[in-house]
A and B are shown apart, each in its own frame.
Chain A
Amino acid sequence: MPERFVIPIGPQHPALKEPGHFEFTVDGETVTGASARLGYAHRGIEKATEARTWVQDLYLLERICGICSHVHATAYALGVERLAGVTAPPRAQAIRVLVGEMERVHSHLLWLGVAAHEAGFETLFMYSWRDRETIMDSLEALTGNRVNYSANLLGGVKFDVDTGQADAIRRGIDFLESRTRIYLDLVTTDEVFLRRTRGIGVMTAAQAETLGVVGPTARASGVARDIRVDAAYAAYPDFPVGITLEQTGDLAARFVVRVKELFESYRLIRTVLDGLPAGDLVAKMPRHVPEGETISRVEAPRGELFYFIRSGGRSRPDRVKVRTPTLCNMASVLTLTIGHQLADVPMILVGVDPCFSCNDRTVVIRDAATGQRWTWARLRQHGIEAYR
Chain B
Amino acid sequence: MNTEAALERATAIVAAWGPAADHPEPARVDVAVARDDLLAAVGALRTASWGYLSAITGLDLPSRGELEVLYHFCEGAAIVTLRVRLPKGDAAIPSICGVIPSASFFERELGEMFGVTVVGTPDAARLFLPDDWPEGVYPLRKDFTPGGAAGGGEPHA
List chain A positions with a Cβ less than 8 A from chain B.
35-39, 42, 44, 46-48, 50-52, 56, 82, 209-212, 230-231, 292-295, 297, 304, 306, 308, 310, 319, 321, 323, 327-328, 330-331, 360-362, 364, 373-377, 379-380
Q: 15 A-B contacts, Cβ less than 8 Å apart?
A: A39-B126, A47-B146, A48-B146, A52-B156, A56-B156, A304-B74, A319-B57, A323-B106, A327-B105, A331-B102, A331-B105, A364-B132, A364-B150, A373-B151, A376-B147
B101 within 8 Å of A (CB atoms): yes
Asked if B52 and A212 sit within 8 Å, CB to CB, the answer is yes
Asked if A231 and B25 sit within 8 Å, CB to CB, the answer is no
Question: What is the CA–CA distance of A46 and B126 in the complex, to the nearest angstrom?
Answer: 17
What residues of chain B lie closer than 8 Å to A210, measured between beta carbons?
Answer: 100-102
Determine which of B52, B103, B140 lies in contact with A46 in the assembled complex, contact meaning CB atoms within 8 Å.
Answer: B140
B98 within 8 Å of A (CB atoms): no
Asked if A323 and B54 sit within 8 Å, CB to CB, the answer is yes
Closest to A321 in B: B57
Asked if A376 and B139 sit within 8 Å, CB to CB, the answer is no
Bitwise, B122-157 to A at CB < 8 A (1) or not (0) is 010111111011000001101010110011111111
Asked if B76 and A231 sit within 8 Å, CB to CB, the answer is yes
Question: What is the CA–CA distance of A377 and B153 in the complex, to the nearest angstrom?
Answer: 6
List chain B positions with a Cβ less than 8 A from chain A.
24-25, 27-28, 52-55, 57-59, 70, 72, 74, 76-77, 79, 81, 100-106, 109, 123, 125-130, 132-133, 139-140, 142, 144, 146-147, 150-157
Closest to B60 in A: A319
Shortest beta-carbon contacts, A-B, top 4: A39-B128, A231-B77, A212-B102, A376-B152
Known contacts: A212-B102, A293-B24, A362-B150. The answer to whether A230 contacts B77 by CB under 8 A is yes
Asked if A39 and B129 sit within 8 Å, CB to CB, the answer is yes
Expressed in whole angstroms, the minimum distance between the Cβ of B108 and any Cβ of chain A is 9
Number of A-B residue pairs, CB cutoff 8 Å, is: 118
What residues of chain B lie closer than 8 Å to A44, measured between beta carbons?
Answer: 139, 146, 150
Asked if B128 and A376 sit within 8 Å, CB to CB, the answer is no
Known: A51-B155, A319-B59. 10 other contacts (CB 8 A): A44-B139, A212-B103, A295-B79, A297-B79, A308-B72, A321-B58, A327-B106, A330-B105, A331-B104, A380-B153
Closest to A230 in B: B76
Determine which of B79, B100, B130, B153 lies in contact with A376 in the assembled complex, contact meaning CB atoms within 8 Å.
Answer: B153
Known contacts: A212-B100, A295-B28, A331-B104. The answer to whether A308 contacts B57 by CB under 8 A is yes
Closest to B108 in A: A38
Known contacts: A211-B102, A212-B100, A377-B157. The answer to whether A308 contacts B55 by CB under 8 A is yes
Question: What is the CA–CA distance of A46 and B76 in the complex, to the nearest angstrom?
Answer: 26
Expressed in whole angstroms, the minimum distance between the Cβ of A239 and any Cβ of chain B is 17
Most chain B CB inside 10 Å of its own CB: which residue of A36, A212, A319:
A212
What residues of chain B lie closer than 8 Å to A292, measured between beta carbons?
Answer: 24
Asked if B139 and A47 sit within 8 Å, CB to CB, the answer is yes
Asked if A38 and B128 sit within 8 Å, CB to CB, the answer is yes
What residues of chain A lie closer than 8 Å to B152, measured between beta carbons?
Answer: 375-376, 379
What residues of chain A lie closer than 8 Å to B100, measured between beta carbons?
Answer: 210, 212
Asked if B123 and A35 sit within 8 Å, CB to CB, the answer is yes
Closest to B139 in A: A47
Most chain B CB inside 10 Å of its own CB: which residue of A35, A48, A306, A362:
A362
Expressed in whole angstroms, the minimum distance between the Cβ of A39 and any Cβ of chain B is 3
Expressed in whole angstroms, the minimum distance between the Cβ of A295 and any Cβ of chain B is 6
What residues of chain A lie closer than 8 Å to B72, measured between beta carbons?
Answer: 295, 306, 308
Closest to A53 in B: B156
Question: What is the CA–CA distance of A47 and B146 in the complex, to the nearest angstrom?
Answer: 9
Asked if B25 and A364 sit within 8 Å, CB to CB, the answer is no
Expressed in whole angstroms, the minimum distance between the Cβ of A19 and any Cβ of chain B is 12
Question: What is the CA–CA distance of A88 and B14 in the complex, to the nearest angstrom?
Answer: 36
Most chain B CB inside 10 Å of its own CB: which residue of A56, A231, A360:
A231
Expressed in whole angstroms, the minimum distance between the Cβ of B48 and any Cβ of chain A is 13
What residues of chain B lie closer than 8 Å to A46, measured between beta carbons?
Answer: 140
